[in-house]
Structure 1
Amino acid sequence: MSDPFDAALDLLRRLPPSQTQQNLASIISIAPDLEDDLLSSVDVGLAVKRCPKSGRDYLCCDYNRDGTSYRSPWSNDFDPPIDPDDAADLVPRGKIRRMEEELNKSIDVYRELYYEGGVSSAYLWQLDEGFAGVVLVKKSSGGAGKGGWDSINVFEIIEATSKRSAHYKLTSTVILDLGLKNDAVGGLELAGNLTRQEELDQPLAGLRDAEIESSHVANMGRMVEAMETRLRNLLQEVYFGKAKDVVGDLRSIRLLSEAEQERQSHKEAISKMGGATI
């Protein structure tokens, strides 16, 4: 008998990508013991919550979750509140929190420049060796032409012993969900996701802790910018380019008169060159 976790992942791969959130919830209701493993393994659209302390929106994912509570990057508090003893282990402090605050400010500017709206959040946490983090961006549009873009960028960072450089491992996933529904075309839906990974060694500027922390933030920001640009271009080529090729193979948009005129010009050119007519 196959492993239930593998069977659940196999099932989700065969169901419509635009309904992953609903299908995931249905599978968890049937097999609640798989909840933690599935939530940490399956990429779904990001949920938005409002921080009661700061009044700002933030994004929810498995990396800022404890049960049904989520930590706001703006206040560093869980909502709903969790046990203080548990919070002490889950809430970043010191160097990690300072970098998290600076990273959120930087990503907020990046989001406004590239997305002109949406919501962004960044979370960092300590590892046994180095630290890790995630940068999230979500942009949605409604109406007859709905659209959703969810970007999940997960980092693992290990500093060199000299603290003059660090090794960065980035795993980025973009979830795209587009739809159009009106009387003219009926219903049209295009959804899917794309994941890419990159590892780089980057220098760290400065000698003081504040300078090294700022270097980490700058390095992560540049890597996210480059990776998201690459994924955006790949999505453009894979989804829209392929859809255009398929539609073009099904039916030509050229008028018959234009095609006939081109064939006639082709015949005349060959005839003048002394070749055989077609």
Structure 2
Amino acid sequence: MGDLVDSMLDLMRRLPPMRVEENVASLAAMCPDYAEDLLGTVDQPLKVLTDRATGREYLACDYNRDGESYRSPWSNEYDPPFEDGTVPTAKLRKLEITANEAFDMYREMYYEGGVSSVFLWDLDDGGFAGVVLLKKVMNASSPTEPSGSWDSIHVFEVSERGRQAHYKLTSTIMLQMTNRAVTGRDAKEKEGDDATRAGEVALSGSMTRQEEKDYPVPEQMAHVANTGRMVEEMEIKMRNTLQEVYFGKTRDVVFDLRSVDDLEKARRQRELQKELVGFIKR
């Protein structure tokens, strides 16, 4: 069992990240006996659903799934209805409601749109765990405009120790971006021809980081502030890493392949630099 699941995970790491949902579905169909193990291990882009009771959107993933139903953080109900679905205790549900309200404001402040959801559940050792989900999609209004999506999955475990608590956070960010470039010649063509002649650059992938911290817990609702602080700091770190390392490296590769400046102008500048160096050495 373990060898087969490891082989499927190894295959997933070699397949295009932009097709992760399609690839997972294909593997699950080929090996239905191990579908649950695969779905619980591979991170997939979050799905946006609508709560029938409140009309509010929420995110669906493996953490709020029970069978084929998903629990809404707003009404605490499953869709499709599932009578025996797992729900948090009354005490934890109160904390879950507060966390959803807090991260909804966080989403509006940092993402200016998108959807957020928080789900909590009890652990056997007396602590509890949860997941903070954030998703933002940018749809292109025309074939030549960029499009993409950002999915954040922050899973945390909390172990209370008196008035202190130990937090373990595992964060995964999935990013997909597509940009179509149109040349001057293509711009004169019809829009349908543009779609076939335009060049397309697609970037996609995921990044996972972990962190553990201890914070004071004077009262139960302090867990919301503590996890919020950790999620905020982690997202800033990971965003900076994406910008400086991944996008920076991609930009360097593109600039090495194709110069933005005129090649003849660059050649004359190099010759002028050589002449100046020669004068200085005399």
CA separation of 1:44 and 1:258: change in aligned 2, threshold 3 A: same
Amino acid at match of 1:158: S
Mapped pair 1:114 → 2:115: no
1:141 is matched by which residue type in structure 2?
M
Q: Which residue of 2 aligns with 1:132?
A: 129
Question: 1:255: how far off?
Answer: 2.0
Q: TM-score, normalised by structure 2?
A: 0.89
- 3-state secondary structure, aligned to 1:113: helix
Query: Secondary structure at 2:73's aligned position in 1?
Result: coil
Letter in structure 2 aligned against 1:157: V
Q: Distance in 2 between matches of 1:225 and 1:107?
A: 10
C-alpha deviation, 1:248, in angstroms: 1.8
Match of 1:92 among 60, 82, 88: 88
Which residue identity is paired with 1:155?
A: F
Aligned to 2:192: none
Q: 1:106 to 1:23 in 2, by over 3 A?
A: same
Partner of 2:156: 155
Residue by residue over 1:33-62, the C-alpha shift from the partner in whole angstroms, topping out at 9 and shown as x without a partner, is 111111110001000110000110000011
- Aligned residue-pair number: 263
- Detail structure 1 runs of 4+ shifted over 6 Å in the superposition: none
* Amino acid paired to 1:106: A
State the shift of 1:186 in Å.
Answer: 2.3
Q: What is aligned with 1:6? A: 6
Does the residue aligned with 2:221 lie in a helix, a strand or coil?
helix
Structure 1 length-normalised TM? 0.90
Q: Which runs of 5+ in 2 are unaligned?
A: 184-197
Q: Partners in 2 of 1:110 and 1:52 — Cα distance?
A: 24
CA distance, structure 1, for counterparts of residue 243 and residue 63 of structure 2? 29
Give CA deviations for 1:196-220 in whole Å, capped at 9, x if unaligned: 0000011113xxxxxx222100000
- Cα distance in 2, alignment partners of residues 270 and 158 from structure 1: 65
CA RMSD in angstroms comes to 1.7
Distance change in 2, residues 1:2/1:135 (3 Å): closer
2:281 matched to 1:274? yes
Kindly state the Cα deviation for residue 142 of structure 1 after the two structures are TM-superposed.
1.2
Indicate the residue corresponding to 2:77 in structure 1: 77
Residue of structure 1 aligned with 2:201, choices 177, 188, 192 = 188
Q: How does 1:199-278 map to 2 (within 5 A)?
A: 199-205=212-218, 212-275=219-282
Q: Secondary structure at the match of 1:29?
A: helix
CA-CA distance at 1:238 after TM superposition: 2.9
Letter in structure 1 aligned against 2:225: A
Separation in structure 1 between the aligned mates of residue 204 and residue 271 of structure 2, nearest angstrom: 43
Task: Decide whether the 8 Å contact of 1:92 with 1:126 is kept in 2.
Answer: yes
CA deviation after TM superposition for structure 1 residue 263, in Å = 2.5
What is aligned with 2:52?
A: 52
Q: 2: distance between equivalents of 1:29 and 1:267?
A: 64
Match of 1:172 in 2: 171
SS at match of 2:22: helix
Maintained 8 Å contact 1:95/1:213: no
User: Which residue of structure 2 aligns with residue 101 of structure 1?
Assistant: 97
Shift of 1:245: 1.2
Aligned equivalents of 2:3, 2:154: Cα separation in 1: 29
- In structure 2, what residue type is equivalent to 1:6? D
